[in-house]
């Protein structure tokens, strides 16, 4: 079968369908609301050289980090056999933060290793200092169990000892078992669909088109970069604190565009910090590649090829390339969002009509856990907010954006599963920045605890508002409030507390920046 434009399009959808069907299986079989309702997971297909061939339209922050996980799995074992499943979550060996547990399975054709399928799911709790495993930590050990690449299944046989060790380090072991088994079920679907694909299309033709897809994505990305005027563009933004104190943590970027290639250098960014906002390089690459993909009017297939024209460098020892065992749990969620704001701020100088104002710039992470009678519960969710306006129109309101692509957790699902009530959930009207085009509004979500519990909030844009562009006004900062006995206390962007039944947590998320002088 010759490779042509039509056959490439067919195989693009065939490979993507494998990842998408894995995702459907994972969602339907999972136990936790975080995976089942919010869809906080990603699935992907890789070739035998650990190059990503296709990723389902799941979580952007996993875009550049899952390849590092597959590479770490391949490097850890001299031989992978049919029926093996490798599991890991170590951020310093291919992971992002400990809550994201990644699985990798080899797929064979004619006795030869041909592909890998991989899944990454955000598990609600993997141990650590506080329920939800998102503590205001100062080292990785405080964030939960660290899983280096190990075989959870060996030639189809379950490694019961490894599974028991992982599950024993969670506050909700039954949920962990259910979610881990859901990932393995998704892998069986992926392996089966790839095997069927190679039978129907032929092993050689499938491999030939996999390579052609990489070249196709590389060409499309180069075409996107070629439309950016050559030059050097710089921008500076900052995080608001590391969970230990509130202080400015600068992110500095320099983007050099030359023809069809781009070099993105984060030299000048802050040294690694004591708290939990450090981000491993895989996260920085994911956020940067995502920004480049935003510039395309066409749907570039997500694979190894679209990464190649973009070189990303981070200074060792900075908080964007920390040394083990620096705390990193919020680098995956909050620092990734600020990297996007910084890269887009630089690109706005080159493409002022195309780049939006800053969106909410935070995932507004909320975790809660405690005992409901004799049963322990843990819950994690992120909250949306306002999108930045563009030259084409107003920003969206009350939506997740950029490095998170999850859904809202329905109030009914939350209240059914947990000893909590949601007292308010509505748009935060007027929080978007003014402009020729308005920034989107944030949201207000108010939780009432029905039992004593420990809560943790990890959020940003509580001190530095999302910026407007071309004279547009910034969006409003977010606000975190705890209500005890009817008395409100405004707390910092990163806060943990032990609350009693009847206490409430009110999270007001930022609005997006405006576009154009109002």
Domain borders along the chain are 5-218, 356-518
Return the pLDDT at 1: 55
Strand 453-458 relative to strand 494-499, pairing = antiparallel
Report field, pTM of the whole predicted structure over 0.85: yes
10 Å CB burial of residue 299 (0-12, 13-18, 19+) is exposed
List of the chain residues with pLDDT < 50: none
pLDDT digits (tens, 9 = 90+) for 395-429: 999 999 998 878 888 999 899 989 999 999 999 99
Return the pLDDT at 297: 84
10 Å CB burial of residue 430 (0-12, 13-18, 19+) is exposed
Return the pLDDT at 63: 65
Cα–Cα distance, 408 to 186 (Å, whole number): 23
> What is the biggest distance separating any 2 CA atoms in the chain, rounded to whole angstroms?
72
Strand 310-313 relative to strand 261-265, pairing = parallel
| SS3 annotation, 155-221 | CCEECHHHHHHHHHCCCCHHHHHHHHHHHHHHHHHHHHHHHHHHHHHCHHHHHHHHHHHHHHHHHHH
Return the pLDDT at 311: 96
The H or E element that residue 299 is part of is none
* Contact in structure between 335 and 417 (CB atoms under 8 Å): no
135 Cβ contact list (under 8 Å, min separation 6):
128, 129, 142, 143, 276, 329, 456, 496
Cα–Cα distance, 86 to 113 (Å, whole number): 15
The H or E element that residue 415 is part of is helix 411-417
Token pair 């999270």 is found at: 507
Whole-number CA gyration radius for the chain = 22
- H helices within 42-146, ranges in order? 66-76
Return the pLDDT at 156: 92
Cα–Cα distance, 491 to 343 (Å, whole number): 29
Q: In what order do the strands lie in the sheet with 246-258?
A: 231-241, 246-258, 261-265, 310-313
Total residues belonging to the chain: 518
Return the pLDDT at 94: 82
Q: From the CB of residue 71, how many other CB atoms can be counted at a distance below 10 Å? A: 17
Return the pLDDT at 426: 98
**Which of 274, 285, 265, 363 has its CA nearest to residue 322?**
274
Distance (Å) of CA 297 to CA 65, 440, 470? 24, 22, 22
Cα–Cα distance, 307 to 261 (Å, whole number): 11
């Amino acid at each position: 079968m010759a490779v042509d434009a039509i056959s490439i399009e067919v195989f693009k959808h065939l490979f993507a369908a494998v990842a998408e069907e894995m995702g459907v299986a994972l969602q339907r079989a999972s136990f936790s609301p975080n995976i089942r309702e919010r869809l906080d997971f990603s699935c992907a297909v890789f070739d035998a050289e650990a190059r990503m061939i296709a990723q389902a339209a799941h979580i952007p922050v996993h875009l550049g980090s899952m390849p590092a996980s597959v590479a770490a799995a391949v490097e850890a074992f001299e031989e992978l056999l049919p029926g093996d499943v490798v599991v890991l979550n170590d951020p310093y060996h291919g992971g992002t933060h400990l809550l994201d547990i990644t699985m990798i399975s080899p797929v064979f054709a004619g006795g030869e290793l041909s592909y890998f399928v991989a899944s990454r799911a955000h598990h609600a709790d993997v141990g650590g200092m506080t329920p939800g495993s998102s503590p205001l930590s100062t080292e990785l050990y405080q964030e939960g169990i660290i899983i280096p690449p190990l075989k959870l299944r060996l030639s189809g046989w379950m490694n019961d000892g490894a599974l028991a060790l992982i599950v024993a380090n969670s506050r909700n072991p039954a949920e962990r078992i259910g979610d881990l088994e859901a990932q393995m079920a998704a892998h069986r679907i992926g392996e089966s669909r790839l095997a069927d694909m190679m039978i129907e299309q032929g092993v050689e033709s499938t491999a030939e088109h996999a390579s052609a897809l990489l070249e196709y994505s590389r060409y499309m990305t180069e075409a996107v970069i070629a439309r950016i005027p050559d030059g050097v563009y710089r921008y500076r933004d900052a995080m608001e604190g590391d969970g230990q104190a509130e202080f400015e943590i600068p992110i500095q970027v320099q983007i050099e565009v030359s023809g069809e290639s781009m070099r993105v250098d984060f030299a000048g960014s802050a040294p690694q910090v004591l708290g939990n906002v450090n981000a491993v390089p895989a996260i920085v690459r994911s956020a940067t590649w995502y920004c480049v993909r935003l510039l395309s009017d066409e749907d570039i297939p997500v694979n190894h090829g679209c990464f190649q024209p973009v070189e990303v460098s981070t200074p060792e020892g900075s908080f964007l390339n920390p040394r083990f065992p620096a705390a990193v749990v919020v680098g995956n969620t909050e620092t990734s969002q600020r990297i996007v704001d910084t890269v887009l701020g630089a690109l706005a100088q080159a493409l002022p009509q195309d780049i939006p104002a800053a969106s909410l710039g935070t995932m507004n992470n909320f975790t809660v856990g405690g005992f409901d009678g004799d049963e322990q519960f843990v819950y994690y969710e992120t909250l949306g907010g306002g999108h930045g306006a563009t030259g084409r129109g107003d920003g969206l309101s009350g939506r997740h954006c950029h490095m998170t692509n999850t859904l809202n957790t329905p109030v009914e699902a939350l209240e059914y599963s947990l000893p909590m009530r949601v007292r308010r959930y509505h748009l935060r009207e007027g929080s978007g920045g003014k402009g020729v085009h308005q920034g989107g509004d944030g949201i207000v979500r108010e939780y009432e605890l029905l039992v004593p519990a420990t809560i943790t909030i990890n959020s940003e844009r509580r001190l530095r508002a999302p910026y407007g562009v071309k004279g547009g006004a910034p969006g409003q900062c977010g606000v975190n409030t705890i209500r005890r006995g009817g008395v409100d206390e405004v707390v910092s962007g990163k806060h943990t507390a032990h609350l009693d039944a009847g206490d409430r947590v009110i999270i007001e998320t930022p609005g997006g920046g405006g576009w154009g002088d109002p």
